[in-house]
């Protein structure tokens, strides 16, 4: 089969391309911007890439056009596909029909922690010798790739609630028909497609309704929105995590985030000691352990695997140190994720200064739907720095309650200069964005480098 994938350089569609190629299909694709590292990864797999969406690509005559959700009406190639009546499908639907059919699908859903928990779960199954397939919205460092077909029964997938394609407005995860589902947490997000939290809860309700009675739902016991989802309908076994210690049957943790016992009620099942920080990662671990158990992995064995888990790129990733200042990269872009990430770093570094640097880049943030929560998200940082974009709201006004603790700049160079002026040895600079942030990490490391260490011009 020849697939031509529109929007191929996104993490999800690029993962589908890699899996399709591994399965023996011919794959080509296009995107508005074809650039490394995804372009290099795809070309290394023998996938031809075209920049742009010109109608001439119809002449490739693939067996099917696979349409990513970045594709809009009005793009010349999309119009040509429709006018020709060519066969087309969405990425999730192609995956469901050609890869997931007959597999034990383990889907990880939720507003936060999907990528990390999916990676943990895939790694646990790998260590158990199950050789799972997986599709992750990031690059797990244990694997070095974001997707693979796998030869085992299980397939682990990051289950996004974002819509599927321009012709299918259901959430992506409705296509996956999981036998094991992790529901990590649920908050309002994706303000560009969902009017309110209730609308997202309905999509999660649809996911739950697709699951058989023999399925397992691994759900965060602390989340009220998820409680409402399961109250609407639940036909499957439920494994709760994050419960109170005295609650029988639920998975909980005892200890610090980097060293803790895993309990079911009061019974100790295993112990996790690792380099990850933050209570959110402790909860992610409990979710992954509960899901892996459904595929036969004992919790003690899962705990041993997590001790060797190396996290995901761009999750509190140390990019370097210069002038005694450490610079981190993190994918956090929702206020709750930002607050949780800052809290995790704060607990690690104690009284040393944390400088939070962020850009409101997601569609939700650009719309200003979360701007009132920003001071709350940043309150544990000593200083905060924000990049002002060309959206319709003022970051300076949103951060005004923080007074002099917040600085706003309208370009990355100006932001770097402002940070470099105040940074001092022992500081920790945490850069948060769901994009490349204009290469700010390398720019900061260069600006912070002592003059005697800088290379000659």
pLDDT at 248 (0 to 100): 82
Task: Kindly list the strands in the beta sheet with 48-51, ordered across the sheet, starting from the edge strand earlier in the chain.
Answer: 48-51, 26-31, 2-6, 64-67, 88-90
Q: pLDDT of 36-62, one tens digit each? A: 667 788 888 889 999 999 999 999 999
Burial class (CB in 10 A: 0-12, 13-18, 19+), 405: middle
pLDDT at 333 (0 to 100): 77
Mean pLDDT of the chain: 91
Phi-psi region of 132 (alpha: psi -120 to 50; beta: other; left: phi over 0): beta
Q: Phi and psi at residue 152, in whole multiples of 5°?
A: -85, 180
More confident residue, 112 or 296: 296
Q: Phi and psi at residue 404, in whole multiples of 5°?
A: -75, -5
Share of the chain above pLDDT 90, in %: 63
Q: Phi and psi at residue 218, in whole multiples of 5°?
A: -100, 110
Residues of the chain with CATH 3.40.50.720: 2-91
pLDDT at 223 (0 to 100): 94
pLDDT at 137 (0 to 100): 84
Residues of the chain with CATH 3.90.190.20: 317-453
Residue 332 pLDDT > 60, yes or no? yes
Long-range contacts from 271-274, C-beta under 8 angstroms, 24+ separation: 271/303, 272/303, 272/306, 272/307, 273/307, 274/306, 274/307, 274/309
The count of C-alpha atoms lying within 13 angstroms of the C-alpha of 261, restricted to the half-sphere facing its C-beta, is 9
* Residues composing the chain: 457
More confident residue, 453 or 270: 270
Q: 130 in helix, strand or coil?
A: coil
> Quick one: average pLDDT of 436-452?
85
Q: pLDDT of 142-188, one tens digit each? A: 998 889 999 999 999 999 998 999 999 999 999 999 999 999 999 88
Residues of the chain with CATH 3.40.1190.10: 102-306
Rounded Cα distance, 27 and 84, in Å: 20
Check: pTM over 0.85? Answer yes or no: no
Superfamily of domain 317-453: Mur ligase, C-terminal domain (3.90.190.20)
Q: 2-91: which CATH number, 3.40.50.300, 3.40.50.720, 3.50.50.60, 3.40.720.10?
A: 3.40.50.720
Q: How confident is the model at residue 311 (pLDDT cuts 50, 70, 90)?
A: confident
Q: How confident is the model at residue 89 (pLDDT cuts 50, 70, 90)?
A: very high
Residue 330 pLDDT > 90, yes or no? no
pLDDT at 58 (0 to 100): 97
Does the domain spanning 102-306 belong to CATH 3.40.1190.10?
Answer: yes
Q: 277 in helix, strand or coil?
A: coil
> Quick one: average pLDDT of 442-457?
78
Q: How confident is the model at residue 35 (pLDDT cuts 50, 70, 90)?
A: low
- Residue 388's CB is within 10 A of a number of other CB atoms, namely 17
Q: pLDDT of 218-255, one tens digit each? A: 999 999 999 999 999 999 999 999 987 667 889 999 99
Q: What are the tokens at 369?
A: 């739907």
Q: What are the tokens at 404?
A: 């002099």
Strand 354-358 and strand 325-330: pairing? unpaired
> Quick one: average pLDDT of 103-109?
97
Q: List, in sequence order, every residue forming a beta bridge with 446; answer none if it has no partner.
A: none
């Amino acid at each position: 089969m020849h697939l031509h994938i529109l929007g191929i350089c996104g993490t999800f569609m690029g993962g589908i391309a890699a899996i399709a190629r591994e399965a023996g299909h011919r794959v080509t694709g296009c995107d508005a911007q074809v650039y490394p590292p995804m372009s290099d990864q795809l070309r290394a797999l023998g996938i031809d890439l075209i920049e742009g969406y010109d109608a001439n690509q119809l002449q490739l005559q693939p067996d099917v056009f696979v349409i990513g959700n970045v594709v809009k009406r009005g793009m010349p190639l999309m119009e040509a596909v429709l006018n020709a009546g060519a066969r087309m499908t969405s990425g999730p639907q192609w995956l469901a029909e050609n890869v997931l059919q007959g597999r034990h699908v383990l889907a990880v859903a939720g507003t936060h922690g999907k990528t990390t928990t999916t990676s943990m779960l895939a790694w646990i199954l790998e260590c158990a010798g199950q050789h799972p397939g997986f599709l992750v919205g990031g690059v797990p460092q244990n694997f070095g790739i974001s997707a693979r077909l796998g030869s085992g029964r299980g397939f682990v997938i990051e289950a996004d609630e974002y819509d599927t394609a321009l012709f299918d407005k259901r959430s992506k995860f409705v296509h996956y028909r999981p036998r094991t589902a992790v529901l990590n947490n649920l908050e309002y997000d994706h303000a560009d497609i969902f009017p309110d939290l209730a609308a997202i809860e309905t999509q999660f309700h649809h996911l739950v309704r697709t699951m058989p009675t023999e399925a397992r739902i691994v759900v965060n016991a602390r989340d009220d929105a998820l409680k409402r989802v399961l109250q609407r309908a639940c036909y499957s076994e439920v494994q709760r995590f994050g419960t109170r210690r005295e609650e029988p049957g639920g998975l909980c943790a005892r200890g610090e985030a980097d060293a803790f016992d895993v309990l079911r009620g009061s019974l100790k099942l295993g112990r996790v000691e690792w380099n990850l920080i933050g209570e959110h990662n402790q909860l992610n671990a409990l979710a992954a352990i509960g899901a892996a158990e459904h595929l036969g992995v004992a919790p003690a064995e899962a705990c041993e695997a997590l001790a060797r888990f190396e996290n995901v790129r761009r999750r509190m990733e140390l990019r370097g140190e210069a002038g005694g200042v450490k610079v981190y990269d993190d994918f956090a872009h929702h206020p709750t994720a930002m607050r949780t990430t800052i809290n995790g770093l704060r607990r690690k570094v104690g009284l040393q200064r944390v400088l939070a640097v962020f850009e409101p880049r997601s569609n939700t943030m650009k719309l200003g739907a979360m701007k009132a929560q920003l001071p709350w998200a940043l309150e544990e940082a000593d200083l905060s720095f924000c990049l002002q974009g060309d959206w319709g709201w003022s970051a300076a006004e949103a951060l005004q309650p923080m007074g002099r603790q917040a600085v706003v700049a309208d370009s990355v160079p100006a932001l770097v200069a402002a940070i470099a002026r105040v940074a001092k040895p022992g500081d920790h600079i945490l850069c948060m964005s769901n994009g490349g942030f204009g290469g700010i990490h390398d720019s900061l490391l260069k600006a912070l480098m002592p003059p005697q260490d800088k290379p000659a011009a």
